[in-house]
Structure 1
């Protein structure tokens, strides 16, 4: 499908990381024309820090028929232990995926890219955004190749999913306020002579912290930090440095050997003030960056994409009753989530770095409270895993509106299987023929019935798995 009159494509997505790939695949699966611009040549690995996929993200991948395949690539972690004191029992999550999946980011990208290619996305690898302009109807992107040649693409909308150094954000002239949180974090992918006592080993001494997690194929991801070795990101990392941090923090280097990747980076907390500027949107690390604590970065970006994709689809199909308000709702819903992730991940990393007696006492008391008080533990798990994320429904709204819909059992199958069609799902009692509420996208509603005959309520579930409307 070609772009609408006067354009080359419906949507330009800048960036072929997980956020851009999920968004592009959604749009193309809905019959829209999508062009992805990626500065890396095709086949060049996108080496990154991400390795954990949380429950809510797995649910969204399930709604795209990708979750079960991804789960086979990694290791399931059902207990998340922090600071040697705080334990979160993920098996308590009311989800089809009550665990943290440890798998490298390239496995996520592999599945999302395959889906996008099958849906007909046009990939432009080795191409970099040089400038963009927009008017009332279109966005024009000037794209350059490594050999100095260039081209111009015109689209109805453009999405910047091009990481924390986003060319799209710079072209818009948007600030990226925030600060550096922690410097000189080292990463290594290694083999171990001895496995840690726990599936994930994590500890901090105040002067150091270390983290070891398995990929499930004999390789382990190690992360470490030493307060007394604060150097620039470009300073080389050798395996001896990683071993020393592990010995000082965990009591053993676990016989690390055969490092296939070593890297050093710093962590920042930043968030762009506006996720939408006219016909241009920002998602993922282009919109927000934060510490790796809690493993929420990859997950937050994928959830951005799932929120935005159905809204763009509805507007481009001409189905939205109020297109501008629907597109504005992307910022209204996702910006607060990004801000919350910045706060929570920042709190975790500061607690991990706690040095003085008072700071350590506060950390111990907080961990003890969460361990002892089940609602506090549930709230912490909901935040970290994404299961607890909800969008404000406004004054007088039903208590379920804006909340995540669990994987409901319906006569037609599981809810998240039905969501694979990219439409609203109206769930009603068996035998009822309800007239659903006015939806933002009239006509894109599947009707389904509760498998449980005793249920008499009605729910309208959005394409991204959140409840749009409900009755008691």
Structure 2
């Protein structure tokens, strides 16, 4: 069937998002909540009760908390306060700051459900059974060709297109963008099973050079098993046999925990790849469409959700007409280095776990155990894997807090916390109690983009917190006039040109 002519183009909203996984759904919810029309295109005909990802890290939970849905997701899973490295080394997540000092183990479909419900409630559309088949862009927008489940084709027009359609991204392919890298590990086995004798500690992790196994509880009687057998590197199309799964687990963990009754199995290979640029014109890439890496640390889904949190408010600012120059380009500038760091770190951890000479593996254990037991090192490991320590670049001479994650400080004068104040999608200017008069005129000119909140406790630092929970700017200036001038300058730089004062205020 011929694609519709330009005059027949169906309206789709300001942003089209390819892919209804966690990345696409997070982005759709953020855009819709900001008043941006958006449609998610998903080639699956409906939701599937299958999952690959199962760990939601602390920083992702904070971002979901800033959207009012973290507690609902937490209720679906199990909190794990330590992560195991190798077979006998673990590090403590309870050292992390914030309300979520753990990794939440829950099936990916629960994360998708929570994010889909939020997106739909905010006004986003999800078009199931819709496959993206082509795209063209110009200076004003993107034309996207799609095919529905019945074979009908049409063209949709949008201001921007975001490819959140996974490692085999159609959007990336249609753009002709390279995806350089290599296969990190082949023939990984996945299975959801029942266990006769569940492990006492969860998750259970083991690696012995020629075998690797991970057993994670979902909390409902089902367990996810991830296993790798160096001696059987089968293609992804080959079914997973339970006898191989059990035997691999016994080699890596010393037991197979009585695995039985699999409800789902799959085989896949894990690559380490990243696109050179996250943006090309009016098309952007996020999540696995932009980067894939080793599964060690369970950071993949989290990385994509955090991509979406960074991108959403910037796209909304661009579409609402107040984005300062370069804001949308900063999506690549900030997120590409984060993706590269995760790719390198998880890859190094995987290679360490699978190193073959037994003597070398044995030597790793005391070194790793010593490092994990040294509190500063353990805290750094926990901060890296959880995403808590992500820091974005700040300009020379910026305040020491610029680019850092904003802590969830209590607010005075109102019941709540900073991350509750972020739930309306605006910047939050956090000031000391005696600063309200100083910031009044500055903030009301940006009222559609900024809200002012008074920090609880004694503080002299004034901070402008971005909608994604990172500190854009801060000052310790105490002189009222200089502080007010600095605030106005920061608001102009980050939130665009201010609205004009009403006539009566100009006269005043």
- Asked if these proteins are the same fold (TM beyond 0.5), I'd say yes
1:129 to 125, 132, 140: 132
Kindly report which structure 2 residues correspond to 1:395-406, keeping only aligned pairs within 5 A, or say none.
395-406=396-407
Distance in 2 between residues matched to 1:263 and 1:6, nearest whole Å? 38
Distance in 1 between residues matched to 2:262 and 2:94, nearest whole Å? 32
Displacement of 1:321 after TM fit? 2.6
Contact 1:319 1:442 in 2 (8 A): no
Distance in 1 between residues matched to 2:316 and 2:392, nearest whole Å? 20
Quote the residue 1:15 is aligned against. 19
Quote the residue 2:349 is aligned against. 348
SS at match of 1:281: strand
Displacement of 1:417 after TM fit? 0.5
Q: Confirm or deny that 1:105 pairs with 2:108.
A: yes
TM-score normalised by structure 2 residue count: 0.88
Distance in 2 between residues matched to 1:315 and 1:369, nearest whole Å? 49
List alignment gaps of at least 5 residues for structure 2. Answer: 1-8, 477-508
Number of aligned pairs?
463
Contact 2:429 2:465 in 1 (8 A): yes
Quote the residue 2:372 is aligned against. 371
Quote the residue 1:40 is aligned against. 44
Post-superposition CA distance 1:389-432 (Å, at most 9, x none): 01010211111100001111111311111111100001111131
Displacement of 1:122 after TM fit? 1.9
Displacement of 1:361 after TM fit? 5.2
Quote the residue 2:238 is aligned against. 235
Displacement of 1:365 after TM fit? 5.2
Quote the residue 2:164 is aligned against. 161
Distance in 2 between residues matched to 1:78 and 1:400, nearest whole Å? 27
Displacement of 1:438 after TM fit? 9.2
1:253 to 232, 252, 256: 256
Contact 2:206 2:253 in 1 (8 A): yes
Post-superposition CA distance 1:69-96 (Å, at most 9, x none): 1011001000111113332111110010
Quote the residue 2:453 is aligned against. 448
Distance in 2 between residues matched to 1:274 and 1:379, nearest whole Å? 28
Contact 1:426 1:436 in 2 (8 A): no
1:464 to 438, 443, 468: 468
Q: Confirm or deny that 1:95 pairs with 2:103.
A: no
Which of 1 and 2 has greater Rg? 2
Displacement of 1:435 after TM fit? 3.6
Contact 2:191 2:264 in 1 (8 A): yes
Kindly report which structure 2 residues correspond to 1:180-191, keeping only aligned pairs within 5 A, or say none.
180-191=183-194
Contact 1:436 1:460 in 2 (8 A): no
Displacement of 1:369 after TM fit? 4.1
SS at match of 1:169: helix
Contact 1:320 1:442 in 2 (8 A): no
Quote the residue 1:321 is aligned against. 324
Contact 2:51 2:108 in 1 (8 A): yes
Quote the residue 1:146 is aligned against. 149
Q: Which moved more, 1:220-229 or 1:370-379?
A: 370-379
RMSD of aligned residue pairs (Cα, Å): 1.8
Contact 2:10 2:155 in 1 (8 A): no
Contact 2:195 2:260 in 1 (8 A): yes
Distance in 1 between residues matched to 2:332 and 2:417, nearest whole Å? 30
TM-score normalised by structure 1 residue count: 0.95
List alignment gaps of at least 5 residues for structure 1. Answer: none
SS at match of 1:114: helix
Kindly report which structure 2 residues correspond to 1:389-428, keeping only aligned pairs within 5 A, or say none.
389-411=390-412, 412=414, 413-428=416-431
Displacement of 1:347 after TM fit? 1.0
